Structures are given as structure tokens and as C-alpha cells.
Amino acid sequence: MFEIKIDNARYWKSCVDSIVSLVEEGTFNITKEGITLKALDPSVISMVLFSIPNKAFSKYDVDKPTSVGLDLTNFAKMLSSARLEEQLIMKDSGNKLAIEFVGPLGKRRFKLPILDIKKEPEKEPKVTFESTIDIRGDTLKEILKDTNFLSENVGFRTEKNSFMVVAKGDGGELEEEYAGNSESIRKLDVTKPSSVTFKLDYLQRIISACPQDSQIKMSFKTEEPMRVDYKIGDADVSYYLAPYIES
């Protein structure tokens, strides 16, 4: 039995968006401490780790750890009906998740079937990263948009004092260079220069839920999976993305 209340329904929608951008279904683990979710995308190229502490909620009654498997696409659609100034209550109701929006104009109650999702997500990749950068979310979104028409892949290179983005295709090539400790790149730590390429589409989905003006932390090692971290309010979202290696 649990009953969880959040004062800003639209905030919870943005949390779920950070998951549904990669996976269509997943299992929330609800414990006394908070809610977590870990899932691999269907193509097994990327992994999302979501976690939000109980303090993010205005009411958080959880008597025992519970797993709630959901069709996240439908969950996100329900949540997108959130109006301004609406609160959200989630509780279990038999084999369904009851979602109640409470606002000045009335109540809306959705019910979403709870699914038994078998597959256990794989372990997180173990990588000793050699470069990390802190970059503004909107800067990274613009950079990725620049490369869009050139290639399906985008390369990242780090050096002692610079972060470089490269893309190359039949139509031309692009190289962007950003200095560390600049307005866009607040922090750049390079123990060893890294060079690694990723599928652009996945990267764009991974950062799509990052709030405007938020910082994104990217961690690299040459030809290894990257890790992406950002915060959505009190929630922590992390992703792993496998490198693209030309065959």
C-alpha cells in the first residue's frame, strides 16, 4: 500500500519524460527512501537510471517496498493532461495504479494497469572515466542540432583544455571547439584525452528532458560507454550510452 502526493503534477510529468524518451515500459521501485527505476532501451544501446528521494513529495506513505511495472508511454500521456496548479496523487488500487489530479476545477482519476515486467536490467557498465565535462543543457542541444544533417553519429574529443564535437558526412563536415571554464563549459576535467563516437538520435533522446539552463555532466573514456547525468529538480537522472564503432 502506498499513497504518494506531489504538489506540482507537471514536475512529475517532466521526470517521467526523462525515462520514456528511451524506454516504453519499466518498473518503478518504491521504497521508504524514494522511487527508483532502471531500464535498458529495447535496442540495448542505452540505459536509464532514475531516482527521486521521498522529500520531493508532499505526502509519501509507503509501508513496504513495492514494484510498479507500467506502460510508460501511456503513463506519460496521462501525465501530459496535467493542468497548471494541479496536484497529483498516486496510489495502488488492486492491479492498477490510480492517478488522481486534483485542481481548482475538479478531479480527474486515471487508472493504469500494473504490468509484470520480467526482464531484469543488466548491470551498469563499469567504466573508469578519463574525461568529464559540465555543459549547459541548451548549449548541448544546439550542438547536436548542428550535426543533424551531416551524419547519424557525433564524435566527442576532449583535450587538456578543450572539448570538441565532430561530425562528418557526404554533405560536409563540422568541428566545434569549446574552451573549458567558459560560459558553456563550466568544468572540464581531462586525465587522459578521450575520443569516442555515439549515435546522435540516442543522445538527443537522452538529453531531451533536461530542463532549460540545467547543467549536464558527460563522462567519457575512449571507445567506452559514456555516462550522462543531470537533475530535474530533486530527481537524479543518469544514462549510459554505448559507443558507436564503425564496422
- Which residues sit at the interface with a second copy, rule CB under 8 A? 71, 74, 77-78, 81, 83, 96, 104-113, 139, 142, 145-146, 149, 171-179, 182-184
State the Cα–Cα distance between residues 121 and 171, nearest whole angstrom: 39
Cβ of residue 28: shortest distance to a second copy, in angstroms?
16
Q: Please identify, using beta-carbon distances, which residue of 25 and 224 lies nearer to a second copy.
A: 25
Q: Please identify, using beta-carbon distances, which residue of 86 and 224 lies nearer to a second copy.
A: 86
Mark residue 19 as left, alpha or beta (left: phi above 0; alpha: psi -120 to 50; beta: remaining): alpha
Q: What is the 3-state secondary structure (H, E, C) of the chain?
A: CEEEEECCHHHHHHHHHHHHCCCCEEEEEECCCEEEEEEECCCCCEEEEEEEEHHHCCEEEECCCEEEEEEHHHHHHHHCCCCCCCEEEEEEECCEEEEEEEECCEEEEEEEECECCCCCCCCCCCCCCCEEEEEEHHHHHHHHHHHCCCCCEEEEEEECCEEEEEEEECCEEEEEEEECCCCCEEEEEECCCEEEEEEHHHHHHHHCCCCCCCEEEEEECCCCCEEEEEEECCEEEEEEECCCCCC
Q: Please identify, using beta-carbon distances, which residue of 42 and 172 lies nearer to a second copy.
A: 172
Cβ of residue 139: shortest distance to a second copy, in angstroms?
7
Cβ of residue 170: shortest distance to a second copy, in angstroms?
8
Residue 21 carries which side chain, given as an amino acid letter?
S
* Residue 47: closest CA among 128, 155, 124, 152: 124
Cβ of residue 89: shortest distance to a second copy, in angstroms?
14
Cβ of residue 115: shortest distance to a second copy, in angstroms?
11
Q: Please identify, using beta-carbon distances, which residue of 111 and 217 lies nearer to a second copy.
A: 111
Cβ of residue 37: shortest distance to a second copy, in angstroms?
19
Q: Please identify, using beta-carbon distances, which residue of 58 and 182 lies nearer to a second copy.
A: 182
Q: Please identify, using beta-carbon distances, which residue of 65 and 172 lies nearer to a second copy.
A: 172
Cβ of residue 17: shortest distance to a second copy, in angstroms?
15
Judge contact between 125 and 240, C-beta under 8 A. yes
Q: Please identify, using beta-carbon distances, which residue of 84 and 245 lies nearer to a second copy.
A: 84
